[in-house]
Amino acid sequence: MAPLSLPLSSLLKHKDCLQKANAFCNVLQSLHHRPCTSRLWKRSFGAVAHGVGQLLSHRPGSPNYAASVCRSSSAGQDMTERLRAVYNETKKQTEALIPAIFTNSINPDTIFANNEMSLRDTEIYGFDYDYTLAFYSRHLHTLIFNIARDILITNHRYPEGLRKYEYIPNFAVRGLHYDVQKGLLMKIDAFHYIQLGTVYRGLDPVPEEEVIAMYDGCHVPLENMSDFYGKSSHGHTMKQFMDIFSLPEMTLLSCVNDFFMRHNIDYEPVHLYKDVKEAIRDVHVKGIMYRCLFQHPHDVAHKLTSRIFVLRNRGMNYIVGKDWRDLFDVVIVQADKPGFFNDRRKPFRRVTDKGALQWDRIHKLEKGKIYKQGNLYEFLRLTGWRGSKVLYFGDHIYSDLADLTLKHGWRTGAIIPELRKEIKIMNTEQYMHMMAWLQALTGLIEQMQVHRDAASQAVVEEWIQEREAMRSQTKDIFNSQFGSLFRTYHNPTYFSRRLSRFADIYMASISCLLNYDFQHTFFPRRTPLQHEAPFWPEHGPAGISVSSQLSKMNADSD
């Protein structure tokens, strides 16, 4: 075949393609001769964009601040002095922003929106039971841990020495992954990357270099991740713990792993995982947890004037009292989620007040009656409650919410009790100070990395080390082992990714609804994408939020 020797212009069909090709060549050439101030794109800073962001990139009447410092310095001045001057000035101005930023605390009782949704359009409200209507005593997880540990010893013949282990309340966080084959507990972000420093074998962290060697890096391939419901099945080696009740399970797994390693006992991690899973299941089947109820959603149920239904059981007697059925239009027990949402084979059965099962066919779901099992398709046929006029609340993102929103178009509300604690931490001056400087420092590194001489690179490397130390501090402030439920450093966690996909709104507790009237519309924030400019920033001048300014205007007009 003759060699390809035609000019490039003859290979391009349209003139605009040639122009684009020329532009691309120009870009490539510019990369080889880029001046110290050139950048392909600018960072847009989030919560402090209008404060620290202006500090670094949008000062009125002047170009990029950091770059301008480089250009304004005399040619003979040492570059490291210029870099340190930028650093000191940035830090000074960031410190000046802290008081204004601190005035913008977040109310822990706020309902947050992933998707626009109006309560005005909602006609039916549905509720899961555990950690939605019923919240539990802080001692319950200790109880679950102790009983499951004793089941391992008594029923599965595990070593008696395990009794020395007690529940560690602040060890694990929800949403972690567990490698069933390797016996490792870890935190994974939305892009399937392991957060180094959060991988634990037993109760001890695994060195970063060992993690990288085991996984050929930090990425977990899709085929190794947990299945759709977070389970380890069909070849998936990872199990994701999404249930709040899984906290004692994760702790027990870690404690047993720790015991075996410390005593040099050879064991199969897969067997350990299955035995602990079975022991935890036995604790739930016995229903011990329902004796520890203490929070009452009675007021919320009374405020809801639309039809409401609940999926769970006799524990309502502990929460509301014997008249609890008067608050709900439909009551379903032992629904067996998520099978309830997918399995069409199980019909409803009526349950008498004494717990006996009746055999007659169900043609209507009546108020005041209790029904067992059933399936969602039969539920929809009997009630006619379909689509976006139904809003269902649950704490388990997979078992409670995923199928409802993906397959049936219901609106969904996630109950995330951990929100209240994390928001209180984010409202502290310590956290706001760290995050403001962390973002400012990240911007400095991004802009100044273009200085390739050895002295400048040494300064930038110092900043990088400072940034890494601060990232660890911001992790530890939430949980010293695994950090925040919602973030792996700057990235969302895998948990956050699923939350944003399967929940229209989310909140710390169902009682947050009491702060809104039932004509309210929830709007998600328009957070700029990476390539977008913040046309309508969350914060106005000097970090004052728009809502705060409006509140002040209203107060001034009174």
Catalytic residue among 16, 78, 109, 130: 130
Angstrom distance (rounded) from CA 348 to CA 323? 23
The CB density around residue 186, as the number of other CB atoms within 10 Å, is 24
Query: Kind and range of the H or E element at 155?
Result: helix 140-155
Candidates 2, 86, 1; CA nearest to 36 is 86
Q: Are 338 and 365 in contact (CB under 8 A)?
A: no
The CB density around residue 31, as the number of other CB atoms within 10 Å, is 10
Task: Tell me whether the omega of the peptide bond preceding residue 492 falls within 30 degrees of 0, making it cis.
Answer: no
Angstrom distance (rounded) from CA 558 to CA 546? 19
| Terminal Cα distance for the chain, rounded | 86
* Helix runs in 384-493, H state only: 403-407, 418-426, 429-448, 454-476
128 is catalytic: yes
Query: What single string gives the DSSP state of each residue in 346-407?
Result: --EEEE-TTSPBP-SPPS---TT-EEEE--HHHHHHHH---GGGEEEEES-IIIIIIHHHHH
| Residue 391, beta-bridge partner list | 125, 411
SS3 238: strand
Kindly report the length of the chain: 558
Q: Which two tokens stand for residue 304?
A: 């809801």
Q: Are 247 and 172 in contact (CB under 8 A)?
A: yes
Catalytic residue among 128, 243, 400, 403: 128
179 is catalytic: no
**Which residues belong to the active site?**
128, 130
